[in-house]
Amino acid sequence: MNRIRVLIVDDSVTIRKVLRATLSRHDDIEVVGEAGDAFEAREAIKTLNPDVLTLDVEMPKMNGIEFLEKIMRLRPMPVIMVSTLTQAGAATSIEALELGAFDCVGKPDFDGVVEKVRIAAHAKVRPLRERSAEPLAHASYHCGDKVLAIGSSTGGVEALVTMLERFPANCPPTLITQHMPPTFTATFAARLDRLCAPHVAEASEGAPVKPGHIYVAPGGERHLELQGAGWHLRCRLVEAAAVNGHRPSVDVLFGSVARIAGARGVGVILTGMGRDGAQGLLQMRQAGAHTLGQDQASSTVYGMPKAAFELGAVERQLALSRLAVAALDLCSSEIRGAA
């Protein structure tokens, strides 16, 4: 069995010891080295050729974000960021995920780090992309009566930025469930709001769902649902048990859009581990909605889109670069055909 080779980069000796002990308990993982700063890490990467890197956000000499950007430009590889789950930690983690980091784990518990290392070792990693210069031209989309729902998980931050930065200011009302810790979603929504032409905010109870607005499900104890009828739609935050191990759950969002919007819905399932969203997207398609899935080649982790496709929930699979135009076409009052 080929073991997964991991390099730990953190200026804290204690954190390095904890991570080494956590990972070394598993026979399929080998910690091949440690580094206390970016310069040590650079040499260690050259010498040890690790499969996966764990990278501290806050380090001396060069912080983790600066080093990550260099890695993703010059030697793309799976990187798991290690961060405190504070507001400041959330902001830097979101930036890291946008740069192409595979995922984040929080200090000091490192919940899920072993499974994330395993999946990261087989994930698709691409060089850092250039930002799109302009959103889609206003004339390319005519606001109709459709509601767009998007679900994503691992790799979703980068995928959502890629999609939403192409959206015009008068985009269809859009609801998003992205699997994230509670402290991350408000920061992520604010980040999207700065990058995108539409208004983006964390969803709140009773918020009216209207064109030109994008609503991100808050992480934590509640699911995001669509509620209402006709043009009078609003966000509903539901306190309920986790679904597919997640709260908020993509299945819950998609299921509510199937019930409330029916054929007026458009669903998109993006990169992510597991199968959350597959059943809900099937419900949307059965209710007459159009559905899209990210294809395997462009997915960081082809888990959620694969599960949905195999279930028959996905009408069309497309590369990430084509999903924004395709989704807007389906939501437009003048559908112009496939992207």
* All structural domains of the chain: 4-120 (3.40.50.2300), 138-331 (3.40.50.180)
d(CA 96, CA 105): 12
Q: Which of 37, 51, 276, 329 is catalytic?
A: 276
The DSSP output letter for 100 is T
Q: Which of 83, 93, 153, 299 is catalytic?
A: 153
pLDDT for position 134:
53
Give catalytic status of residue 256 as yes or no: no
> In 3-state terms, what secondary structure has residue 166?
coil
Tens digits of residue pLDDT in 92-130: 889 999 999 999 988 877 878 999 999 999 998 888 765
d(CA 246, CA 224): 12
Q: Which of 83, 152, 179, 256 is catalytic?
A: 179
Is residue 49 predicted with pLDDT exceeding 80?
yes
Average per-residue pLDDT for the chain: 91
Tens digits of residue pLDDT in 14-44: 999 999 999 999 999 999 999 999 999 999 9
Is residue 132 predicted with pLDDT exceeding 70?
no
More confident residue, 225 or 62: 225
pLDDT for position 337:
45
Average pLDDT over residues 220-226: 94
pTM comes to 0.91
Give catalytic status of residue 153 as yes or no: yes
Which residue in the block uniquely carries the two structure tokens 């199937």?
A: 258
Is residue 227 predicted with pLDDT exceeding 80?
yes
Residue 66 CB contacts under 8 Å (≥ 6 apart), including other chains? 38
> In 3-state terms, what secondary structure has residue 176?
strand
Tens digits of residue pLDDT in 248-265: 999 999 999 999 999 999
Give catalytic status of residue 93 as yes or no: no
pLDDT for position 107:
80
Helix axes 87-99, 185-195, angle to 10 degrees: 50
Is residue 6 predicted with pLDDT exceeding 60?
yes
The answer to whether the CB of 155 falls within 8 A of the CB of 295 is: no
Q: What is the DSSP string of 276-324?
A: TTHHHHHHHHHTT-EEEEE-TTT-SSBSHHHHHHHTT--SEEE-HHHHH
Residue 138 CB contacts under 8 Å (≥ 6 apart), including other chains? 168, 169, 170
More confident residue, 138 or 286: 286
More confident residue, 251 or 220: 251
d(CA 219, CA 221): 7
pLDDT for position 304:
98
> In 3-state terms, what secondary structure has residue 130?
coil
